[in-house]
């Protein structure tokens, strides 16, 4: 029973930390008129070759339903932050490409999020590395490649 209680406490701590981190991130992103998912789409495009990615890839990378990825890209396109473009060789594939304004918004939001430790506050580099390592171990145990 003590093992179950320890695991329950660990699970509760992870969930509470997640809630606190995302609340801090959402507050910053609101000032940039971005949802968390929209920011993750922009960030993914920012680091992608040619600053573009197939919509199907976005849903897999962000671990969201394809419909969610499409809806977020719709919103970002309406805001002038991304544009849809055809794939160069596969007519079946539609790409989302970052616009200049989208790149600017993504970089500004990233800079402000970085100032706040991406929701982690004053966690130092060693603590962040240790947290990443420990959560990596948990993800492996849970079957995440």
pLDDT in tens, 111-141: 999 999 999 989 999 999 999 999 999 999 9
Q: What CATH number does the domain located at 2-141 have?
A: 1.10.10.10
For residue 98, give the DSSP letter: E
pLDDT of residue 90: 84
* Beta-ladder partners of 85: 95
For residue 92, give the DSSP letter: T
The whole-model pTM stands at 0.86
Cβ atoms < 10 Å from Cβ of 24:
17
Q: Residue 51 in 3-state DSSP?
A: helix
């Amino acid at each position: 029973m003590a093992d179950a209680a320890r695991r329950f406490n660990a699970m509760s701590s992870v969930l509470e930390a997640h809630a606190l981190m995302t609340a801090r991130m959402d507050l910053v992103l609101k000032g940039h008129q971005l949802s968390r998912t929209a920011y993750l789409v922009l960030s993914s495009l920012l680091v992608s070759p040619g600053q573009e990615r197939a919509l199907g890839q976005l849903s897999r990378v962000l671990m969201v339903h394809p419909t969610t990825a499409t809806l977020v890209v719709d919103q970002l396109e309406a805001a002038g932050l991304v544009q849809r473009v055809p794939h160069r060789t596969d007519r079946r594939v539609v790409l989302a490409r970052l616009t200049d304004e989208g790149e600017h918004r993504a970089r500004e939001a990233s800079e402000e999020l970085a100032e706040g430790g991406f929701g982690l506050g004053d966690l130092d580099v060693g603590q962040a590395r240790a947290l990443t390592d420990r959560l990596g171990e948990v993800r492996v145990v849970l079957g995440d490649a």
